[in-house]
Amino acid sequence: MRASVPVDATLEFAEIAPEFPPQITRDPDAYFEGQCINQAGEDRWRTASECGCRCGTMDLSASFSEASLLDGSASAPGRCWPLAWMHSMRLATAGIFRHPALAEGDRFDYIALVNADLFLVRPPPVDPFMLLHRCGCTMAYDRFSVEVPGCYDGFQEILGRAGLPHPMIGTGVASIGGQLLVARLSLMLSETYLNIADYLAEGIYLHRWGDQLFFAAAIQAMQTQRNDEKWGGPDDPAVTDFAGSYGVCLHDMFFDLIEPQNLSGWTGSAAEAEALYGRSPLLIHRKGSWRDGRVWWACS
């Protein structure tokens, strides 16, 4: 892997041990007792170490990923979310920002956090890091989304107990940055955000709260404490010029996202993609696509 990266890039590896939040660590089995029942009435924690059963119908099994890869016809049955996924969200929302490689010193100004099932298959039209640097935003993304019902059970109640506001879209809970986070690192390293992330961590395991909810909470915290010098103070462009978007630079550079159902006729050719979909994909979001030669061909 080191040999395959560009000569001007530095590749570093770090091991991070996933851990339950303190509320769960003492006795996970007792904590999840009766909390992870699927639509068939099965206790998925006892049988498969899964929970968050009201959120979505995505099947993360290897057999489903393989079936989808072959012909795109497999439909995902309702199921709960595996422990590995829960730990990955705990890592993405807090654990990685506490690792010495990021937390110690002033090595980096910005961070890009990319999910393992998201693939960039052509150069983006805008450098997101330069966008942040020139505009003074805290985050770059294409738009806010309304979180899916069932995927934020209890979220607003937990925030309310601590007096924490959250961005809303109408009456829906807003989310941002789920698959790809490009952000000011100081925001994610701040004690304020990490305390919020720890406070909300229990919901990852019990209700399948995703990282996109946490990142929306982070930008809300900065707006709420806009006069605090640790955020850059009241003259920070994120709380002046971009207050209307909670400090986010909204740019359609991430909009060209091809989802699995659109890939059945694609061979990896940009020209063919434009003929099929009217545009060439910038990003492909697909489970198990590291097995798909078309993605490797497009990336090369």
Q: Other C-beta atoms within 10 Å of 201: how many?
A: 24
Work out whether the CA dihedral 113, 16, 209, 80 comes out positive or negative.
positive
How confident is the model at residue 3, as a pLDDT? 73
| DSSP SS3 for 151 | coil
Residues 55-109 pLDDT 10s: 975 444 334 334 433 444 433 345 699 999 999 999 999 999 998 888 887 889 9
Residues 196-244 pLDDT 10s: 999 999 999 999 999 999 999 999 999 998 877 777 778 999 999 999 9
Nearest alpha carbon to residue 56 among 145, 141, 153, 144: 153
How confident is the model at residue 64, as a pLDDT? 37
Max Cα separation, the chain? 56
Q: What is the pTM of this model?
A: 0.83
How confident is the model at residue 117, as a pLDDT? 81
Confidence grade of residue 136 (pLDDT, cut at 50, 70, 90) = very high
Identify the weakest region by mean pLDDT among 57-71, 108-122, 280-294.
Answer: 57-71
Q: Are 283 and 257 in contact (CB under 8 A)?
A: yes
Structure tokens at 93: 């929302």
How confident is the model at residue 255, as a pLDDT? 61
How confident is the model at residue 280, as a pLDDT? 64
CA distance 136 to 162: 29
H helix intervals, 49-99: 62-71, 83-93
Q: In what order do the strands lie in the sheet with 110-114?
A: 110-114, 180-184, 139-141, 248-250
How confident is the model at residue 276, as a pLDDT? 60
Place of tokens 């909810």: 213
Nearest alpha carbon to residue 222 among 230, 212, 214, 210: 230
> C-alpha dihedral over 26, 27, 30, 32, to 10 degrees?
90
Average pLDDT, the chain: 83
Of residues 18 and 1, the one with the higher pLDDT is: 18
Residues 162-184 pLDDT 10s: 999 999 999 899 999 878 899 99
